[in-house]
């Protein structure tokens, strides 16, 4: 297969052509002379080709673009050859594009497989379309069976699990984006996950399936719960100690006021001062216990 060369007029009329008729772009036995280049790529590409040729003839510089015809991809390179005419080389890039597509797919699959998150997708019939290693291994551990791409996503699951997830998947397949957290158990420990489901759309904007991602958020959840517990304990602590602090403070304020303003005997003044001293010591003990409790709460929150 070789590149095809066309001589085109300003409006895309084929004036001369050296075509590779082994390429499905051209029909053997058909004379394309004085036909518009649109006949090769279809009427739906007409506007693109018009703008492409306009740019060629206006700038006078080499221009390049890519077009699809059926399942094939073509690169067009066009440059002004003389006033009113341009040389257009048509290169079949299908194989090259296929190789690139395969490499991109392989790289994407390799990248997704390195994720610890579960990543999977299924179609409107609940057939598993894609799944990374983490998802497949996780399902194997849960169901004691190896789920494979092409299986129904509910294969091997228990009835209660089916009843739980079917309505959720149906909501996603109706266009709803779903995100929630839940607590799970792996038969050894409890753990927390965040689950994200989103519908997948076709080029015609029709829902053709659903993409799911499940992420382990155990460490984040533990930290969140620890902070919530710490906050709750601080609130309880503040309420309790505020009442404990009021008593010695009130005693000290009352006694000092009485000493300063009251008509007390020397013996009564000595008793009042001793009472203030006892209340001050009580207040000091409460403050020390407060500091110790705060340090304990901090330590439990960090752990």
pLDDT tens-digit series, residues 43-100: 888 999 999 999 999 999 999 888 888 878 888 999 999 999 999 999 888 876 666 5
CATH topology of domain 227-302: Helix Hairpins (1.10.287)
Q: Cα–Cα distance between 104 and 113 in angstroms, integer? A: 14
Q: For the segment 199-249, what is each residue's pLDDT rounded down to a tens digit? A: 999 877 889 999 999 998 888 888 887 778 877 877 777 777 777 777 778
Q: Strand, coil or helix: what is 154?
A: coil
Does residue 103 have a pLDDT over 90?
no
- The pLDDT of residue 86 is 93
pLDDT at residue 22 greater than cutoff 70: yes
Which sequence spans correspond to the domains of the chain? 4-97, 115-216, 227-302
**Mean pLDDT computed over every residue of the chain:** 84
Class of the domain covering 4-97:
alpha beta
Compute the average pLDDT of residues 180-205.
87
Tell me which of 140-149, 192-201, 256-265 is least confident: 256-265
| The pair of three-digit structure tokens given for residue 288, joined into one six-digit string | 């020390």
Query: CA–CA distance from 185 to each of 119, 132, 192, 211, 277 (Å)?
Result: 19, 21, 8, 24, 57
CATH level 3 topology of 115-216: Beta-Lactamase (3.30.450)
| pTM (whole model) above 0.85 | no
The values of phi and psi at residue 42, to 5°, are 95, 155
Q: 3-state DSSP call for residue 146? A: coil
Give dist(CA 251, CA 276) in Å, integer: 7
Other beta carbons within 10 Å of 276: 19
- The burial class, CB within 10 Å (0-12 / 13-18 / 19+), for 122 is buried
- Res 282: pLDDT: 82
Domains 4-97 and 115-216 share a fold: yes
* Cross-strand partners of 195: 180, 214
């Amino acid at each position: 297969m070789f590149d095809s060369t066309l001589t085109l007029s300003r409006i895309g009329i084929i004036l001369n052509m050296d075509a590779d008729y082994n390429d499905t772009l051209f029909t053997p036995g058909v004379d394309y002379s004085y036909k518009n280049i649109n006949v090769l790529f279809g009427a739906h590409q007409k506007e693109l080709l018009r703008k492409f040729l306009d740019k060629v003839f206006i700038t006078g510089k080499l221009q390049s673009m890519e077009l699809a015809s059926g399942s094939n991809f073509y690169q067009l390179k066009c440059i002004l050859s003389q006033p009113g005419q341009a040389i257009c080389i048509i290169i079949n890039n299908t194989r090259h594009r296929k190789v690139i597509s395969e490499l991109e797919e392989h790289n994407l699959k390799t990248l997704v497989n390195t994720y610890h998150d579960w990543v999977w997708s299924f179609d409107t019939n609940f057939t598993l379309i894609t799944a990374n290693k983490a998802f497949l291994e996780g399902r194997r551990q849960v169901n004691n069976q190896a789920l494979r791409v092409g299986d129904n996503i509910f294969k091997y699951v228990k009835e209660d699990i089916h009843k739980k997830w079917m309505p959720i998947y149906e909501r996603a397949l109706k266009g709803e984006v779903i995100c929630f957290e839940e607590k799970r158990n792996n038969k050894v420990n409890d753990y927390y996950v965040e689950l994200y489901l989103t519908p997948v759309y076709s080029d015609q904007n029709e829902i053709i399936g659903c993409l799911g991602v499940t992420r382990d958020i155990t460490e984040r959840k533990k930290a969140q719960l620890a902070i919530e517990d710490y906050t709750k304990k601080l609130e309880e602590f503040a309420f309790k100690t505020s009442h404990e602090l009021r008593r010695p403070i009130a005693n000290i304020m009352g006694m000092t006021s009485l000493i300063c303003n009251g008509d007390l005997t020397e013996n009564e003044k000595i008793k009042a001062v001793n009472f203030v001293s006892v209340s001050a010591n009580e207040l000091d003990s409460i403050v020390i216990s407060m500091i110790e409790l705060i340090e304990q709460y901090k330590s439990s929150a960090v752990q």
